């Protein structure tokens, strides 16, 4: 055995030597081609290397069809109006949104919007992420009152083709501070803004977009949010908006408006379902003053108090393994009560049902039925028809996508 | 017989409420360990569904997630830690 090994000694060593030499030679060849490749890749990555700033465009579009039948009844007489509208006249929207980030501290948001009313701007603001728990913003802002307008109104987020009636909101020039923080297992958040101010109109309503700065007073708007559960499934919020609304130098100079709102959001996965309950209730109070009657130019007054609220629930079998998971069913109840004896006095109740089909997380096809029953509470003296009952039934087929 | 005036009893109630709140917060210290140990994936699952459907990490490039992360931190008023963990998860 030993002799055999000794005899093989020399060939084995020479074989090993040969192998090392050839593999060395091979390695040299591989190395230089690798280096070339690395050089080329380095050049390429230099071109696509993310910089400190980043610009992206997102946006949304919503369009569809609505068929409406409105029956107006006063005493024994009634009339019916039927309309069909393609483009879904009151809900068509095309809004690109520009997000422009400078490093990790500055974010610019601009959302122009083409909708039924023409071309407008939903918001245009710059946010400075100052410290953990504090974001400071300036510009043209959606004021933090309730959650509907700032968080839930977008067509691809709203589970219904229509919005609940009369939700108070405002978009205005101002500054804002907001943030969220953990406290034990709970979370709190705040969103406070100071803006030019909502403006009292000649009929006692409040102008909430395209506001003219009509006085020296600023409007304060703020919301506090509370997430009491450790899994963030529940959020409760309380909001306040307050400020003088009358034109400087007019008899209404010191008239103040105060708005309150409570909101609720609950999203829980009770597998295989996802359950969602959302709601908001708001009160608008404007100090008493007198207004000019458009019929005879006399003065009249009313208790300028409006309440509005909605509650919705939806259920989606989001966690099943077949196509049914893309369907969602939703129901919403709404109420809107504007001041009696005012030019726009009404008491409306609405009920809406929706069947949605989600093509993906941000694309939805909605089928909505909504019935609104309104009772007119204006005044004959103002040219109104108190007691007029308006029953409006609408079918919507709507498509909405976030891009 | 009245031991306390209305004002005094209000103050007392406030103090009790304050102590109560603190007790809850302190008690939740162990629970808050559970909170700090939450992964980005868990926070993403819990938070993004609060307003809309939850987007998959595949939706955007890491750079875009950084931008959207800031945007959503502001919309959802996420805590700094939540935002960082979620964005880190979405970038993968």
- Give me the interface pTM, i.e. the ipTM: 0.86
Q: Are the Cβ atoms of A189 and B77 closer than 8 angstroms? A: yes
pLDDT value for A86: 84
Q: What pTM was computed for the model? A: 0.85
pLDDT value for A30: 66
How far out from the chain centre does Cα B21 lie?
17
Q: How many CB pairs under 8 A join A and B?
A: 103
Rounded Cα gap, residues A110 and A137, in angstroms: 13
Q: Are the Cβ atoms of B77 and A362 closer than 8 angstroms? A: no
Taking CA–CA distances from B55, the nearest residue in chain A reads: A361
- Give the DSSP per-residue string, A157-180: T-SSSSPPTT----EEEEEEEEEE
Q: Nearest-CA distance from A105 to chain B in Å? A: 9
pLDDT value for A6: 56
- Among B46, B71, B77, the residue with its CB nearest the CB of A179 is B77
How many CB atoms sit inside 10 A of residue A108's CB?
A: 16
User: Chain A contact for B57, CB < 8 A?
Assistant: no
Q: Choose from B51, B83, B84, B87 for mutation: most chain A CBs within 10 A.
A: B51
For chain A, domains (ranges, CATH) are 51-402 (2.40.160.10)
Q: Are the Cβ atoms of A181 and B46 closer than 8 angstroms? A: no
- Among A151, A178, A233, the residue with its CB nearest the CB of B51 is A151
Residue B1: pLDDT band (50, 70, 90) is very low
pLDDT value for A264: 98
| Structure tokens given for A299 | 């003065």
CATH class of B39-92: mainly alpha
User: Chain A contact for B14, CB < 8 A?
Assistant: no
Taking only the tens of pLDDT, chain A with its 403 residues reads: 455 555 556 566 665 555 655 555 555 566 888 999 999 998 888 887 777 899 999 999 999 999 999 999 999 999 999 999 887 767 889 999 999 999 999 999 999 999 877 899 999 999 999 999 999 999 999 999 999 999 999 999 999 999 999 998 889 999 999 999 999 999 999 999 999 988 899 999 998 776 777 777 889 999 999 999 999 999 999 999 999 988 888 888 899 999 999 999 999 999 999 999 999 999 999 999 999 999 999 999 999 999 999 999 999 999 999 999 999 999 999 999 999 999 999 999 999 999 999 999 999 999 999 999 999 999 999 999 999 999 999 999 999 999 9
Q: Are the Cβ atoms of A99 and B75 closer than 8 angstroms? A: no
Q: Nearest-CA distance from B59 to chain A in Å? A: 10
**Residues 6 or more apart in contact with residue A175 via CB below 8 angstroms:** A136, A137, A138, A193, A194, A195
Higher pLDDT, A215 or B1: A215
pLDDT digits (tens, 9 = 90+) for B21-45: 655 555 555 567 888 899 999 999 9
Domain borders along chain B are 1-29, 39-92
Q: Are the C-beta atoms of residues B85 and B38 closer than 8 Å to each other? A: yes
Taking CA–CA distances from A364, the nearest residue in chain B reads: B53
- Among A133, A157, A235, the residue with its CB nearest the CB of B52 is A157
Closest CA to A340 of A301, A311, A373, A372: A301
């Amino acid at each position: 055995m030993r002799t055999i090994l000794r005899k093989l000694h020399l060939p084995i060593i020479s074989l090993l030597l040969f192998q090392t030499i050839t593999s060395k030679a091979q390695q040299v060849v591989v190395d230089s081609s690798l280096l070339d490749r690395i050089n080329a890749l380095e050049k390429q990555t230099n071109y696509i290397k993310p910089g400190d700033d980043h610009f992206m465009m997102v946006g949304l579009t919503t369009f569809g069809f609505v068929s409406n039948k409105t029956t107006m009844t006063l005493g024994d007489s009634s009339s019916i109006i039927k309309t069909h509208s393609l483009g879904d006249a009151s809900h068509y929207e095309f809004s690109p949104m520009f997000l422009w980030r400078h490093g990790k501290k500055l974010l610019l948001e601009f959302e122009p919007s083409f909708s039924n009313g023409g071309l407008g701007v939903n918001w245009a603001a710059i946010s400075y992420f100052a410290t953990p728990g504090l974001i400071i913003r300036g510009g043209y802002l959606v004021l933090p009152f309730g959650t509907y307008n700032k968080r839930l109104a977008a067509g691809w987020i709203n589970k219904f083709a229509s919005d609940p009636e009369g939700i108070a909101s405002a978009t205005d020039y101002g500054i804002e501070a907001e943030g969220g923080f953990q406290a034990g297992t709970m979370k709190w958040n705040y969103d406070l803004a100071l803006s030019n101010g909502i403006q009292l109109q000649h009929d006692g309503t409040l102008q909430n977009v395209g506001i003219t700065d009509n006085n020296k007073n600023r409007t304060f708007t703020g919301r506090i949010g509370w997430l009491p559960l450790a899994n963030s499934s529940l959020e409760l919020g309380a909001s306040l908006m307050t400020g003088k609304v009358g034109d400087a130098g007019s008899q209404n100079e010191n008239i103040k408006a105060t708005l309150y709102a409570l909101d609720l959001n609950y999203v829980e996965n009770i597998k295989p379902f996802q359950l969602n309950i959302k709601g908001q209730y708001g009160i608008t109070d404007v100090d008493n003053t007198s207004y000019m009657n458009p019929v005879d130019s006399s003065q009249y007054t009313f208790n300028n108090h409006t309440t509005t609220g909605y509650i919705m629930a939806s259920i989606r079998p989001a966690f099943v393994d077949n196509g049914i998971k893309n369907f969602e069913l939703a129901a919403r109840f709404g109420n809107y009560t504007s001041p009696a004896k005012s030019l726009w006095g009404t008491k409306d109740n609405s009920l809406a049902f929706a069947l949605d089909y989600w093509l993906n997380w941000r694309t939805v096809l909605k089928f909505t039925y909504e019935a609104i029953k309104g009772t007119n509470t204006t005044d004959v003296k103002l040219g109104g028809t108190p007691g007029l009952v308006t029953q409006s039934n609408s079918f919507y087929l709507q498509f909405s996508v976030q891009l | 017989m009245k031991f306390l005036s209305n004002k005094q009893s209000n103050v007392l109630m406030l103090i009790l409420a304050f102590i109560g709140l603190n007790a809850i917060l302190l008690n939740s210290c162990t629970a808050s360990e559970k909170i700090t140990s939450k992964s980005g994936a868990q926070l993403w699952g819990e938070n993004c569904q609060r307003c809309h459907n939850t987007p998959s990490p595949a939706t955007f490039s890491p750079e875009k997630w950084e931008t959207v992360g800031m945007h959503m931190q502001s919309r959802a008023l996420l805590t700094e830690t939540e935002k960082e963990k979620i964005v880190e998860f979405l970038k993968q």
